[in-house]
Structure 1
Amino acid sequence: MKIGTSSLIHPNGKINFSGIDQLAFVLTDLSNQGKEIILVSSGAIGVGMDKLRITERPEQIPAQQAVAAVGQSELMNIYNQRFSLYNQQTAQLLLTRDIVEFPKSRKNVINTFEQLLKMGVLPIVNENDTVAVDEMDHTTKFGDNDELSAIVAQLLAADLLIMLTDIDGFYSANPNKNKNAVLYSTITTIDQTLMKQAGGKGSRFGTGGMASKLKAAQRILDAKGAMVLANGKPPRIIFDILTGAEVGTLFKEEEHG
């Protein structure tokens, strides 16, 4: 499960407590059904901006990392509070790209995930924004949490990646600007035409846009997995997705034979 900042933060910059509470309810119920759930959550900078009463996302990296440091602890505090209402234990994992690129550390990360899941604990994952950098000789940044969620799904051979955003799925054009935009129900191959239709970045509180979601979907397709992109308002849509309802966009390789 990956949830974007736009599903956690209202357009006015305030925290969407009802959405977070419903997410905790849904994921706990799925866990009670015996499903193994991992949540990759954006929102550290968005929550940090609200906590510090900042209306514009900082442009300088040190300022972004400072805001993320404030926001990450507050975000986990909110998650712990909401999940505890349903008696679901959570754990925080903050990752950087070098952890999953080196075999020994990658194995340790996988072991940690698997042990937490055995214990019935729901891991909540985010990039370690306070230290992650992207330099030629020292790349520790994933790029965004869309890619991070796909990498975590790959590491653990997840059955399905559900990516919740603020739009109903992948469209042929931006539905907020083009009333003739068509929602794709299923995508089996990602080509240059789709990448052009993806457009630019996402909200002012987050970093991801449709292009990053396509790149994540490509990673899932390469791993022979499946991904559903859907609107996370409200999070109860997860129940519909898992019952096979045609909501959002399903990314899955075409089955032959």
Structure 2
Amino acid sequence: MTGEPELRRRIGTARRVVVKIGSSAITSFGGGIRRPQLDALADVCQARMAAGSDVFVVSSGAIGAGMSPLGMTTRPATLSAKQAAASVGQLELARAWGDSFSRYERVVGQVLLTAGDIGRRESAANAQRTLDRLRTLGAVPLVNENDTVATNEIRFGDNDRLAALVAHLISADALVLLSDVDALYDSDPRKGDATAVTMVSGAADLDGVVAGAGGALGTGGMASKLAAA
């Protein structure tokens, strides 16, 4: 079995990387997109690309980005309201990422997918070719779920799962699921003593681990990251 130091080295030198960024990292209830945080994440992705890696960004946040322009103060509960917020937010999000990467003279190409797209051989192959062509043209592929048309029956549920499927689709060397929590813990670190779990190599490493769901702005959380892995 490969040890933790070697696995970390491989991740650190991976040539093709998928990076998933959650809603809570780049959006807020009151102000829509948090540009300083988004710019900082773009800086990190650019540094990795400058070092020779291909980076594919899976960005959540469309609904959160659309809430402020529409005057929403709480995350919408109905599917139609979520899709309306996403239709506005997708434009806001793509513009923000485009502006941020333009500082490095990089173009962003948006790819919106549903679980149905990934589940059909022909559409999955088309998505794969699009992502690969964006890469060869030097653009930054920006992937998100197509919330404006996805129904409850065909939704990914969260972008952690989408990122895992994209990583498989493009044969990525590493998948990085970013979080506002600094590690996987065996219990909620905000509620008392909790031990960090630094490596999970199988189900036995998760014995006794209680993983939480996403926050108010997103649908992910540590539980969905474990499921995606």
Structure 1 and Structure 2 fold alike (TM over 0.5)? yes
> What's the counterpart of residue 213 of structure 1?
225
1:27 shift after superposition: 1.1
Q: Partner amino acid for 1:153?
A: A
> What's the counterpart of residue 215 of structure 2?
203
Q: Return the match for 1:58 from 76, 81, 90.
A: 76
Q: Partner amino acid for 2:184?
A: F
Change (3 A) 1:194 1:168: farther
Q: Partner amino acid for 1:213?
A: K
1:15 shift after superposition: 2.7
* 1:131 equivalenced with 2:131 (yes/no): no
> What's the counterpart of residue 108 of structure 1?
126
* 1:156 equivalenced with 2:174 (yes/no): no
Change (3 A) 1:68 1:164: same
Number of aligned residue pairs: give it.
211
Q: Matched residues in 1 for 2:87 and 2:30: separation?
A: 21
Q: Matched residues in 1 for 2:27 and 2:146: separation?
A: 20
Secondary structure at 1:110's aligned position in 2?
Answer: helix
Q: Matched residues in 1 for 2:207 and 2:214: separation?
A: 17
1:206 shift after superposition: 0.7
1:240-251 aligned within 5 A: none
Give the TM-score normalised by structure 2: 0.87
> What's the counterpart of residue 160 of structure 2?
146
> What's the counterpart of residue 200 of structure 2?
187
Structure 1 gaps of 5+ residues are: 218-257
**Deviations, residues 115-145 of structure 1 (Å, cap 9, x unaligned):** 111111110000000000133xxxx311210
1:202 shift after superposition: 1.2
> What's the counterpart of residue 167 of structure 1?
181
**Deviations, residues 140-171 of structure 1 (Å, cap 9, x unaligned):** 31121010000000111111111111101210
Q: Matched residues in 1 for 2:191 and 2:122: separation?
A: 47
Change (3 A) 1:13 1:198: farther
Aligned Cα RMSD in Å?
1.7
Structure 2 gaps of 5+ residues are: 1-18
Q: Matched residues in 1 for 2:174 and 2:117: separation?
A: 23
Change (3 A) 1:181 1:70: same
Q: Return the match for 2:36 from 10, 18, 32.
A: 18
> What's the counterpart of residue 53 of structure 2?
35
Q: Partner amino acid for 1:176?
A: R
1:14 shift after superposition: 4.3
Q: Return the match for 2:96 from 78, 86, 108.
A: 78
Secondary structure at 1:37's aligned position in 2?
Answer: strand
**Deviations, residues 194-247 of structure 1 (Å, cap 9, x unaligned):** 586113x21111111221111001xxxxxxxxxxxxxxxxxxxxxxxxxxxxxx
